[in-house]
Amino acid sequence: MHVSTYFSLRPSSMLWYLLMILARLRDDMVSFIRLFIFRFPFSYFWEKSNNLVLYIHNATRDLTKIPKHISFIVMEDDVDVAALSEAIVWCIVLGISCISIADKQGLLSRHRHQLDRLVTSRLYELNLPAKAVVCQPLTDTVSSDTSGDVAISVVLLSPATGRQLLATAAVALATADATTESSSANSTMEIENHQEEIGYQGVSVEQLDNKLRELSGLTDADLAFRIGPTDSLFLPSPWHFRLTEFYQVSSQKALRPEVFVAGLRFYSRVDQRLGK
């Protein structure tokens, strides 16, 4: 029996749409079930606000490693400031010093003061020592020199600012004084339009790393919660997400303390071989 390889278009299109709907239903059901399973046994413990701190400390007591920089990458179209401010508070409770939030439309910088207010009031509610929390876009950290004064800095990223950071570093390194360059240069470049001999050996990865750290104050992200449709992602900064572990969360509404703790558990179990 000979089976035709050419199926007519219409059934295939309908099947494709059907599969899209089924996949979406499956994702929604899985996240609903997860929420239900997580919520019910723990609802007593963390509904009361002053037990949130206890919950997070108890749940993370046995973890072998805690990330130093946590990033939240929001792939949804709108930004839930309340949910994100709550997530910042969990990081502060845990003692994470570097927090970054990124959203794909770059809307967060408009809500920075609201984020500041919500985080500060929540910390007050939880009777935690008042710390200076500043939420600022990356462009502000690049142009300011006083990043060392702030106890906790939350950096707000958007797709364009990460890329622009590298371009800024490129210009800064290119226009740096030639005498500060490495003196062991043995490669000279003759460029067609210009006859001058240049002792410029180019930029090494370490030099670029130092310059970016100097400009942005950001360290490498260890753990990133990608919030939104499954598998969708953008990198808030091309440099700082080299070895970041990605943990999928279905939506900003699904961001709950137990999901946060699940992400931390996941991170502490991972064994990074670093190429070996």
Partner 1 sequence: LQQSQPLPTAGPSPGPAEPPQDTSQDSAAIPEDEWIRTGAQYTAMQRLSMTMLGQGPLLNHLAIIMDGNRRFARCHGLQKSQGHLRGFQKVGEVLEWCRDLGINEVTVYAFSIENFNRSAEEVAGLLRLARQKFDRLLQELDRLRAYGVCVRVLGNLQLLPADLRAAAARVMQATSSHSKARLNVCFAYTSRDDMAHAVSLAGQAVRSGLLLPDDVTPRLLDRCARTYLSPGPPDLLIRTSGETRLSDFLLWQTQFTCVHFVNAMWPDFSVWHLMWAVFNYQRNYATMQSGLAALAAEEADDDDETQSDPQRHQRLQAFDKFVHDQEDAELRRYLAAET
Binding residues for partner 1, per CB under 8 A? Answer: 3, 5-7, 9, 12-13, 15-16, 19-20, 23-24, 75, 77, 104-106, 158-160, 163-164, 166-167, 169-171, 173-175, 178, 189, 191-194, 196, 198, 200, 202-205, 207-209, 228-235, 238-239, 241-247, 270, 272, 274-276
Kindly report the length of the chain: 276
Measured from the CB of residue 217, what is the shortest distance to partner 1 in angstroms? 19
8 A C-beta contact, residue 124 and residue 146 = no
Cα Rg of the chain (Å, integer) = 24
Q: Phi then psi for 69, rounded to 5 degrees?
A: -135, 120
Q: Which is nearer to partner 1, 34 or 163 (CB)?
A: 163
Measured distance CA(202)–CA(173) in Å, rounded: 9
Q: Where are the extended beta strands (E) located within 105-216?
A: 133-137, 152-157, 189-191, 194-198
Task: Choose between 47 and 77: whose C-beta lies nearer to partner 1.
Answer: 77
Provide the minimum distance between the beta carbon of 248 and partner 1 in the complex, in angstroms, as a whole number. Answer: 9
Nearer Cβ to partner 1 (89/156)? 156
The distance of closest approach from Cβ of residue 165 to partner 1 in the complex, given in angstroms and rounded to an integer, is 9
> At closest approach, how far in Å is the CB of 133 from partner 1?
27
The token pair that represents 260 in the structure block: 């946060």
Closest CA to 103 of 269, 249, 227: 227
Nearer to partner 1, 116 or 222 (CB): 222
CB of 85 or CB of 250, closer to partner 1: 250
Strand partners, 153: 98, 134
For helices 52-59 and 257-269, what crossing angle results, to 10°? 20
Q: 10 Å Cβ neighbour count for 57?
A: 12
Looking at the Cβ atoms of 148 and 275, the one nearer to partner 1 is: 275
What are the residues whose beta carbons fall under 8 Å from the beta carbon of 92, sequence distance 6 or more?
99, 119, 123, 128, 131, 133, 152
